[in-house]
Chain A
Amino acid sequence: MALYIFKRCLFVIPTLIAISIVSFAIINLPPGDYVDRLVAEGKNRGENMSEEQIAGLRTVYGLDRPITEQYIRWISDIVLRGDFGDSFRWNLPVSTLIGERLLLTVALSLSTLFFIWIVAIPIGILSAVKQYSIWDYVFTFIGFIGLAIPNFLIALALMYVSFKYLGQSVGGLFSPEYLDAPWSLEKVLDLTSHIWIPMVVLGTAGTAALIRTLRANMLDELRRPYVVTARAKGLSELRLIIKYPLRHALNPFVSSLNDVFVNLVSGGTIVAVVLGLQTIGPLLLEAFRGEDMFLAGSAILMMSMLAVMGTLFSDLLLAWLDPRIRLR
């Protein structure tokens, strides 16, 4: 097991390097850099910058160096000093801007993941054990709908309903009075009372997908001879299901957690924009619109790292559940 963990963690390193290169490449894709933009903005205000001023600005931001050098400077600052650079637009260190949002993104993704588990496992079992019952049909139907409706549409519909009939907005992760307040127990409690709406919105697709996976797996397992044997032994139905077929059926379920977690981080971007959450997603979108390159790059890097960590976690979980994997 230790060897497997070691190997698996080792594999994370090249992935992270690749991610950092991709992040850096993407932020350098748009034609023109931040200084070009400053110059254009200056022109709109009627200020014309001289060539020396422009060149000076480039030197200040390090934009005059070759691209590989810019990358190496960027990544070594991050790794060695935890310095993500400054946001051009906000004139603040990126780490200050991202720090709290990263925490909230993690909180939202993890709580959504648990929500998905808590909902999907019992429903998946029920749908399989009572195949072709009314519940099976109801949940299959809801599952299909949940997969087909993009989650930002669910968010919009929810906002519409609450605005129209409750007269209030459901957006955000905090009540206004806690928005800029320092962290305290009250703020955490306020968060828990707000987080469930984005959690449900974000979790629908994942829940629907996992219910279907688990149902299919359970159906395969329930017809196996060992289930008949266990039943013949006189085990109660509930214990039987939890002890034997469920354990087998959970394997593909855990391995599909990979995709689920990546999708949570990915889909969270849009939901956060619609619901106005204080997570990384909206910051990322704004950074790209403003060509705020260090901020955009760090945001992509952070979200990808989060996804990689989630993948790592679910792989380790799978190895713990299934000896065939760790002994391979």
Chain B
Amino acid sequence: MADAQTSTDTIAVSPETRNKDRGVVVANQWKLMWRKFRKHRLAMIGGIATIGLYLVVLFVEFLAPFPPDAYAANFTYAPPQTLHLFDNTPEGLRFQPYVNGYIVEIDYNAGRRNFVIDPETKYPVGFFVQGEPYRLLGLIEMDIHLIGPINQGDPMYLAGADRLGRDMLSRTIYGTRVSMTVGLIGVTFSLFFGILFGGISGYFGGVTDNFIQRMIEFLQSIPSIPLWIGLAAAIPAAVPPVQVYFMITLILALFSWTGLARVVRGRFIALKTEDFVKAARIDGCSSLRIIFRHMVPSFTSHIIAVVTLAIPGMILAETALSFLGVGLRPPVVSWGVLLQEAQNVRSLSQAPWLFLPGLYVVIAVLALNFLGDGLRDAADPYT
């Protein structure tokens, strides 16, 4: 495909069009795709949001003000504070970020504590402040956090606190790492299965193809969530969190490679009869070389688009399983695990900010969907 337009410059065109389209004429496939992708505004926004989310994944410790398990029994269900950027100082309005403290009122009838924001107490807040030490990217020892209270130990709950007085903002940011990578790793697994089975199915055809297709039909005709629950419930309680994480992603991939396999198979079948594949065969290329040197590059772009569209499904599935209590388990922090806290309507009505991870799920899914849509359109730059 990519070599098809080398001879186009012999076609007579007026000088104006030639100048305007010179880029198009000499551009390779990836450049053309980028051009098409850039025109898709939602996809651009989705792409930027996706990159942003994966940057969060990399720099979680720096972005989160506190460690995910830092609790404060005095601040159970403390409501979110507003971050004030400017303060009236004796010298006038100055840039001096702060948050207000809380006044605790005990409601004896309801048997709970109510927090009221106290405008009198101010806790200074700073950017790039010292906090809990950590290793950035697991390598560099640091203790600087993007934002945090200047005096360590001051309460700062920009997105409220949960049942144990843990900072929801920090926990949600930590949850980003687990939830976003579950999608990525799960898709890597299903890509592996998808290319393997789809490739075999499409390249060999015949009985093999028939068998694999029936298997895919079977897998697609059974409801996945009950099976996921069954498989996830089979993971023993004693298994360490990291292994649970990989088992869950593997379980998710077990049922989601089918869509990818279909795409790969379809492409293989469509390309098998293309002239350039025939030419390569006549040239004496081996099957492996034909597949990886000639066929795979021409549908990589499609695969990337399908993979991007598969990630949100993974994220949603993990969230659902963890929400039901059969997926990832605390102390692992993922969006689904956090939403488990929001399962109870009573605690939710008392602390609606427990929904925050849900908002992140929606943003991530939307961003990846828009991005995937744009990539799919751009994957065919010649149409």
Which one of A65-73, A156-164, A234-242 is at the B interface?
A: A156-164
- Chain A to chain B contacts (Cβ below 8 Å), 5 pairs: A30-B236, A163-B348, A169-B345, A266-B226, A308-B221
Instruction: For residue B272, give the distance in angstroms from its CB to the closest CB of chain A.
Output: 22
**Using Cβ atoms and an 8 Å threshold, which residues of chain B touch A267?**
225
Determine whether A22 belongs to the interface, using a CB cutoff of 8 Å to chain B: yes
**Using Cβ atoms and an 8 Å threshold, which residues of chain A touch B221?**
15, 258, 262, 304, 307-308, 311
Set A26, A258, A285: member contacting B326, Cβ < 8 A: A285
Contact between chains at A148 and B349 (CB < 8 Å):
no
Contact between chains at B230 and A262 (CB < 8 Å):
no
A18 to B217, CA, bound (A): 12
A149 to B348, CA, bound (A): 18
**Using Cβ atoms and an 8 Å threshold, which residues of chain A touch B224?**
262, 266
**Using Cβ atoms and an 8 Å threshold, which residues of chain A touch B369?**
144, 147-148
Contact between chains at A270 and B355 (CB < 8 Å):
no
Determine whether A284 belongs to the interface, using a CB cutoff of 8 Å to chain B: yes
Contact between chains at B345 and A148 (CB < 8 Å):
no
Determine whether B231 belongs to the interface, using a CB cutoff of 8 Å to chain A: yes
Name 6 extra pairs, CB < 8 A, besides A144-B369, A152-B320, A281-B226.
A19-B222, A144-B366, A149-B365, A156-B339, A160-B345, A262-B223
Shortest beta-carbon contacts, A-B, top 8: A266-B223, A29-B234, A26-B230, A288-B233, A148-B365, A266-B225, A148-B366, A265-B223
Interface size on B, residues (CB 8 A): 38
Instruction: For residue A9, give the distance in angstroms from its CB to the closest CB of chain B.
Output: 14
Within 8 A of B (CB), among A1-56: 15, 18-19, 22, 26-27, 29-31
Contact between chains at A26 and B236 (CB < 8 Å):
no
Contact between chains at A156 and B342 (CB < 8 Å):
yes
Contact between chains at B366 and A307 (CB < 8 Å):
no
Determine whether A201 belongs to the interface, using a CB cutoff of 8 Å to chain B: no
Determine whether B312 belongs to the interface, using a CB cutoff of 8 Å to chain A: yes
A293 to B350, CA, bound (A): 38
Set A18, A148, A160: member contacting B348, Cβ < 8 A: A160
**Using Cβ atoms and an 8 Å threshold, which residues of chain B touch A296?**
230
Determine whether A126 belongs to the interface, using a CB cutoff of 8 Å to chain B: no
0/1 string, A283-317, CB within 8 A of B gives 1: 01100110000001001100110111001000000
0/1 string, A58-80, CB within 8 A of B gives 1: 00000000000000000000000
Q: Could you tell me the dominant secondary structure of chain A's interface residues? A: helix
**Using Cβ atoms and an 8 Å threshold, which residues of chain B touch A31?**
234, 236
**Using Cβ atoms and an 8 Å threshold, which residues of chain A touch B320?**
150, 152, 270
Within 8 A of A (CB), among B350-372: 352, 355, 358, 361-362, 365-366, 369-370
Within 8 A of A (CB), among B223-249: 223-227, 229-231, 233-234, 236
A160 to B346, CA, bound (A): 8
Instruction: For residue B374, give the distance in angstroms from its CB to the closest CB of chain A.
Output: 13
Instruction: For residue A19, give the distance in angstroms from its CB to the closest CB of chain B.
Output: 6
**Using Cβ atoms and an 8 Å threshold, which residues of chain B touch A27?**
230
Contact between chains at B226 and A303 (CB < 8 Å):
yes
Set A259, A265, A299: member contacting B220, Cβ < 8 A: A259
Instruction: For residue A120, give the distance in angstroms from its CB to the closest CB of chain B.
Output: 18
Contact between chains at B229 and A22 (CB < 8 Å):
no
Instruction: For residue B235, give the distance in angstroms from its CB to the closest CB of chain A.
Output: 8
0/1 string, B305-332, CB within 8 A of A gives 1: 0000000100010011001101000000
Determine whether A153 belongs to the interface, using a CB cutoff of 8 Å to chain B: yes
Instruction: For residue A130, give the distance in angstroms from its CB to the closest CB of chain B.
Output: 20
A266 to B221, CA, bound (A): 11
Determine whether A246 belongs to the interface, using a CB cutoff of 8 Å to chain B: no
Contact between chains at A269 and B225 (CB < 8 Å):
yes
**Using Cβ atoms and an 8 Å threshold, which residues of chain B touch A19?**
222
Closest to B342 in A: A156
Instruction: For residue A101, give the distance in angstroms from its CB to the closest CB of chain B.
Output: 13
Contact between chains at A22 and B366 (CB < 8 Å):
no
Contact between chains at A303 and B223 (CB < 8 Å):
yes
A148 to B367, CA, bound (A): 9
Determine whether A274 belongs to the interface, using a CB cutoff of 8 Å to chain B: yes
The answer to whether residues A30 and B234 also contact, given A149-B362, A169-B345, A274-B343 and a CB cut-off of 8 A, is yes
Within 8 A of A (CB), among B188-233: 218, 220-227, 229-231, 233
**Using Cβ atoms and an 8 Å threshold, which residues of chain B touch A273?**
324
Instruction: For residue B354, give the distance in angstroms from its CB to the closest CB of chain A.
Output: 10
Closest to B259 in A: A259
**Using Cβ atoms and an 8 Å threshold, which residues of chain A touch B229?**
269, 284-285, 288
Within 8 A of B (CB), among A126-175: 144-145, 147-150, 152-153, 156-157, 159-160, 163-164, 169
A197 to B218, CA, bound (A): 31
**Using Cβ atoms and an 8 Å threshold, which residues of chain A touch B362?**
145, 148-149, 153
Instruction: For residue A55, give the distance in angstroms from its CB to the closest CB of chain B.
Output: 24
Set B233, B323, B346, B361: member contacting A289, Cβ < 8 A: B233
A145 to B226, CA, bound (A): 25
Set A164, A262, A304: member contacting B349, Cβ < 8 A: A164
**Using Cβ atoms and an 8 Å threshold, which residues of chain A touch B223?**
262-263, 265-266, 269, 303-304, 306-307
Instruction: For residue B208, give the distance in angstroms from its CB to the closest CB of chain A.
Output: 18
A267 to B312, CA, bound (A): 15
Contact between chains at B324 and A22 (CB < 8 Å):
no
- Counting chain A CB atoms within 10 Å of each CB, which of B221, B226, B320, B349 scores highest? B226
**Using Cβ atoms and an 8 Å threshold, which residues of chain B touch A150?**
316, 319-320, 358, 361
A313 to B233, CA, bound (A): 31
